[in-house]
Amino acid sequence: MSWIITGKEAGSLGLLDQYGGAAAAYSLRNLSLYHTDPVVRVRRDNDNAEQDFTAAEVSDGTLAAWVGAGNNGFVRTWYDQSGSNKNAHQTTTSDQPMLVQNGAVLTKNGDPNINFTGSQRFLDISISYADYGIFAVYEPITLYLDFNIFISPGGTSGAGVRPTLKLYDGNGVFNANAADNTVALEERLLFTSIATTSYGGNLYKNGSLISTQAGIPASASVLVIGDRGNPLPGDSCSISELIFYTADQSANRAAIEANINAHYSIF
């Protein structure tokens, strides 16, 4: 087997090669020098056919040609590149987020991204965690104070944490609404949330600390990427990359952010 990496990091190790141990890693680029498997499975709307695509095929026109002019392509599965087999999936066609619109792959600054526009566009996942580090390349589309990246079904009150704009775990909220007011529509951002049960959580936007919380629950789980209509139906965003560690990543945060920024040129 031969190993390749494509895109702006050609000739260097991938993010997961340098900072391993991720519980789940979703992207439309290859996150490892050793990754050649498909990154996404797409359904086209004219005949509901499905097919897997590699990172190169998403970007080089193969995906767009397969979907076809005038047709749309929706994400059936966003494959986990961490090796943990935590693939994000959606079998209900009306709830699948979009990757191809009218025969063209959706992009931001030339990089493909998945559009979660609508009150119920989401992908199911299952990750349990206590301490964590989350890195998300994210673009808000509609103007709400609460932008959803991860959601877990459950209540919206009580003590606890929903990190990263927002990670709903049914136990409460790690809130950064004051910082959200500075977010511009269709502005691509890198959000990072680092937390441990011992010191609490920190939320970063484009490498800068914007919010803290003293305590988080002893354990929780993530069940959804996107918006399940709770609590604000209609939140819309595009997501290019999500990397989830179930361990404190304070020591690696700046280096991981630098790797992501080198590819996406966010800040």
Residue 104 has what pLDDT? 98
User: Contact, 163 vs 132, CB < 8 A?
Assistant: yes
Which tens digits make up the pLDDT trace of 87-132?
Answer: 999 999 999 999 999 999 999 999 999 998 766 788 888 887 778 8
Of 208, 182, 211, 197, nearest to 247 by C-alpha is: 197
Question: What mean pLDDT do residues 69-75 have?
Answer: 98
What distances in angstroms separate CA 259 from CA 32, 110, 252, 267, one per listed residue? 12, 17, 11, 12
**pLDDT value at 52 more than 90:** yes
What distances in angstroms separate CA 187 from CA 19, 169, 180, one per listed residue? 27, 26, 12
Residue 200 has what pLDDT? 73
**pLDDT value at 12 more than 70:** yes
> What is the rounded average pLDDT for all residues in the chain?
77
Q: How far apart are CA 186 and CA 102, in angstroms?
A: 20
Q: How far apart are CA 162 and CA 220, in angstroms?
A: 10
More confident residue, 217 or 243: 243
**pLDDT value at 29 more than 70:** yes
User: Contact, 81 vs 55, CB < 8 A?
Assistant: no
pTM as predicted: 0.84
Residue 142 has what pLDDT? 59
